[in-house]
Amino acid sequence: MKKILKCIFKITLYIINLPFLLWYLTRVKIPYANFKNVAISLSKHTGERGILLRQVFYKKTLKKCGNNLRVHYGAFFVYPNITVGQNCTVEEFSIISLCDLGDDVIVAARVSIMSGGNHHEVDDLNLKFVDSLLPLKHLSIGSNVWIGTHAVIMNDVAEGCVIGAGAVLTRKFERNMIIAGIPAAIIRKRGEL
């Protein structure tokens, strides 16, 4: 009986999710903007139903999406060409731009994973910021990473790292480091007290 109810629940989620998926797939004029708009709309669904709805959507639309992805209320992925490993969690109101998430990554609430740190030209005074888009960087977040609340990630994160709450990460660090501060710096290596 439990299997039947679970199956009915999944079918219901697919049916609920179908209009969003069709809307995204049929509006190919500006794929990035459409994907982002659908992702933001889906981020508004609450509770376990919302988590499962987003799980189904991202499984169907991301470049690669592992099992057990949990994207909480208000959080969303900005681009469809993102890969997500197994058992990843993205907490409330986090925004994930261009990146590859490894396995077992925890992104706490209100984290911003940016597409690098240089999005606009700042030295050409004749160029308006809206006209000065620089190439975006595709970040890599290693496996078994924990990113604390309100952190801002602008560079790759090596496997096994812990990023402290409120940190602003602008450069790469070795694996298994505990990193915190503005700008982020090494606190210590994990396992070495």
Mean pLDDT by 10 residues, the chain (193 residues): 71 64 54 78 90 90 95 96 97 97 98 86 79 83 98 97 97 96 96 83
The per-residue pLDDT for 15 is 65
Separation between Cα atoms, residue 140 and residue 58, nearest integer Å: 18
117: nearest Cα among 63, 64, 171: 171
**Within 13 A of 189's CA, how many CA atoms are on the CB side?**
4
The per-residue pLDDT for 129 is 75
The per-residue pLDDT for 37 is 85
The per-residue pLDDT for 143 is 98
**pTM for the whole structure:** 0.82
The per-residue pLDDT for 131 is 77
Separation between Cα atoms, residue 167 and residue 184, nearest integer Å: 6
The per-residue pLDDT for 23 is 59
In the chain, which ranges are E strands? 64-65, 70-71, 76-77, 83-84, 89-90, 95-96, 99-101, 106-107, 112-113, 139-141, 146-147, 152-153, 162-163, 168-169, 177-180, 185-189
